[in-house]
Amino acid sequence: MRIRLRTIIASVAALAALAAISVASAPTVAQYVAEREVDKTLGRIRRLSTAVADRGEVSVDIGARSVTVHDISIDPPGGRSRIQIGSLTIVRPWQVDDNLTAERVVAEHIRVESTLGETIIPRFEARDYSGLSRGLVATPGIGSSARSQAEIIASISSAEASAPSIEITETRTKITRTFKDVTISRISNGVLDTMMIGSASVTAPNLKPGRAVRTEGLTLTGSKLVAKSLSLPTLWRFYAGDGAGDREVLLRSLAIDELTIRAGMRPDGAWRASAKGAFAEDFRLRALGFPFAVIDDVIAKLDSDEPATPADNRQRIAVVVDAARAFSFASIGAREITIESRGADGARRSGRADSFALEGYADARLERIRADGVRYAPDDASDIAARSFELERFDASRIAEYGARVGRNEVMLQTRPTTEEIIRTAPRIAQISLTGADAKNAVGALEVAKADIVLDAPLDDVPQKVTARFSNLNATGAADTSFRRLLEAAALDRLEGSGMASLSFDLTRRELALDALKVKFEGVGAVHAKGAFGEVDPTLAMSAGAAMFEKFSSIVLEPFRFTIENDGGFETLLKRAAARAGQPEDQFRAALAERTQEEFARLFGPPAVQSAAALAGFIREPRSIVVSVDPRDAEVRLIDFLQSLNLGPAGIAQTIDVRVFNRR
């Protein structure tokens, strides 16, 4: 609600001070005293804030011990805003020193207009109100004004409060927020013990209505919202815009019964997401480092067709980074989530999850992302699912700091970061885990009991390491597919296996190493491998075109070592080859072994005689074989080896040496 809500509360509270009058027994005297106190308070508003403050009729009900002020208007200096209250009624007011109490305070037909937008509240009522009156005439605003208002709000208490609706409309973006059936039980020192909202909605129109391609706007609706321990002083300090102070508790918990989001997609598509329940726990805020109104300016500029200036881009980066650092939370999540989308071509996609949660966020670091019962259908013939998904320790603090430096103009936007800066500022993820994953499409089906990716990539340490593991993989082919025919050729109904791979990158040596590769498939065999590539530029993955080709061409091939263990796969291949050749299997095997030994020795020369014999021995009795691949010299590049593959065995022999050891 931002500055407009602050304006409402501060102004209504200012006029609540009018209730601290002595309602005399005689109507004429009571009327005189009431009007005098009202005018005195309005005079204080004019004097302290230089605002234009006017009123209409003042009426007194002696029997009810109440005073009502009609047609209140406050116009702060500058002509940019206006506050109107149809009537303000205070029942049984009492003032001791600087503290005002009232049995009941009722404000009706509240309207606040400003350059940012308009807020309308038809009625606001508080029971057993108490709070300071000395500062209730403070000028609404940002910065120090917001902080002084936060101190005043911290003195306010009430048994309960309510409003039938609150509607806020942005002037520039036309975004509308509506809250209905708002009730508050017990306010203590500005902290709302429990706030309940019957329904809430946020509506944003098409961001580019003037363009030829039209899309639907965005609508967010929620029902039965319950907030616990909502701190208004913390919220007011958030709007101060000075970046001072530490994060403070905004709310202990928030629960929403049902949540729905609808939005358009270009061109002419739409998507919808819903959840049966959403929640947030231990949400904290500190003051933003910029006035909140800046966000409206940023959104308006994004809507504009005018090209962004470097100053605009720096401002956007600064806003995003500071906002990301201003809040923290213990957890935010939802349950029974469904997502549906419709493309311009009419194609539909859908997804769902039993639950989803973000846990432990602060300073651009997220402790965990969790999801259970996840399923996604990209089309009618495909389906991807997982019993559980978990991502641990996402850390983007370094890139946030780099963005802050750009926002402060300490780093120019066109400055290209060094390789080391890219490595050190890139976001980190400690681990990704999947349990009970399965996928199916027209080709077949795949199941994996468990898969993990572990990343050992501390912010201040290289080399970086990545380890991936999967267990109990089970793959089947659909009828009349090449994958199904491949399985049948290997005499397999399905492909079952497990594996792991470990990679590390040494920034100093510019070496990408395959520390370990272990893959095993039942009824086929297993492969173990290790090796490395040198002169690897870590920016290769972010390059394109000629720059990417140049960096790829610089990669140097280093030694590799493979261990191959047969578990029936070699025999299957041999049988198929013999059948195609129209020869008995034993005869074909013997001829193949002899021919391979001769050809291998011819290609790699006399030093390869023992390796040729070992390879022939494996063909005759396939159990386990070790293959070492060494570049011919230290300058052999990966691209040289790949090009040699087009030249056949003779070309390959020009770039690498191969040694073979047969294990029996």
In the predicted model, what is the mean pLDDT of residues 320-349? 89
Q: Please check whether residue 620 lies inside any domain of the structure.
A: yes
Q: Please check whether residue 41 lies inside any domain of the structure.
A: yes
The label of the residue with tokens 């009900």 reads 61
Q: Please check whether residue 38 lies inside any domain of the structure.
A: yes
Q: Please check whether residue 60 lies inside any domain of the structure.
A: yes
- Backbone conformation region of residue 636, classed left if phi is above 0, alpha if psi is from -120 to 50, else beta: beta
Q: Name the DSSP letter for residue 380.
A: T
Token pair, residue 579, equals 């059948």
Q: Please check whether residue 165 lies inside any domain of the structure.
A: no
pLDDT band at residue 212 under the 50/70/90 scheme: very low
Q: What is the pLDDT of residue 41?
A: 64
Q: How far, CA to CA in Å, does 417 sit from each of 399, 402, 423, 575, 617?
A: 11, 10, 10, 56, 54
- The bridge status of strand 81-96 relative to strand 99-114 is antiparallel
136-175: b or e for each residue (b if 16 or more CB lie within 10 Å)? bbbbbbbeebbbbbbebbbbbbbbbbebebbebbbeebbb
Measure the CA–CA gap between 151 and 232, rounded to whole angstroms. Answer: 10
Q: Please check whether residue 434 lies inside any domain of the structure.
A: no
- Among 139, 173, 200, the domain-final residue is 139
Over residues 606-628, the pLDDT tens digits come to: 888 899 999 999 988 889 999 99
Other CB atoms closer than 10 Å to residue 218's CB: what's the count? 16
C-alpha angle 435/436/441, rounded to 5°?
125
Environment class of residue 305 by beta-carbon count within 10 Å: exposed (0-12), middle (13-18) or buried (19+)? exposed
If one counts the domains in the chain, the total is 2
Residue 329 has pLDDT above 90, yes or no: yes
Over residues 65-76, the pLDDT tens digits come to: 888 888 888 777
Q: In this predicted structure, which of 123-132, 366-375, 484-493, 594-603 has the lowest mean pLDDT?
A: 484-493
Residue 137 has pLDDT above 50, yes or no: no
- Among 91, 115, 139, the domain-final residue is 139
Structural domain range at position 636: 555-664
Measure the CA–CA gap between 454 and 471, rounded to whole angstroms. Answer: 15
Measure the CA–CA gap between 384 and 624, rounded to whole angstroms. Answer: 36
The label of the residue with tokens 């691209």 reads 639
Helix axes 585-604, 609-620, angle to 10 degrees: 160
Q: What is the pLDDT of residue 51?
A: 67
pLDDT band at residue 633 under the 50/70/90 scheme: confident
- Among 139, 156, 174, the domain-final residue is 139
Residue 255 has pLDDT above 90, yes or no: yes
Over residues 456-481, the pLDDT tens digits come to: 877 666 557 899 999 999 999 888 88
pLDDT band at residue 138 under the 50/70/90 scheme: very low
Residues comprising the chain, all counted: 664
Q: Please check whether residue 659 lies inside any domain of the structure.
A: yes
Q: Please check whether residue 84 lies inside any domain of the structure.
A: yes
Element (H, E) at 458: none
71 CB contacts (<8 Å, ≥6 apart)? 54, 55, 56, 57, 84, 86, 87
Q: What is the pLDDT of residue 497?
A: 93
Decide: helix, strand or coil at residue 423. helix
**Can you spell out the DSSP letters for 52-83?**
EEE---EEEETTTTEEEEEEEEEE-TTSSEEE
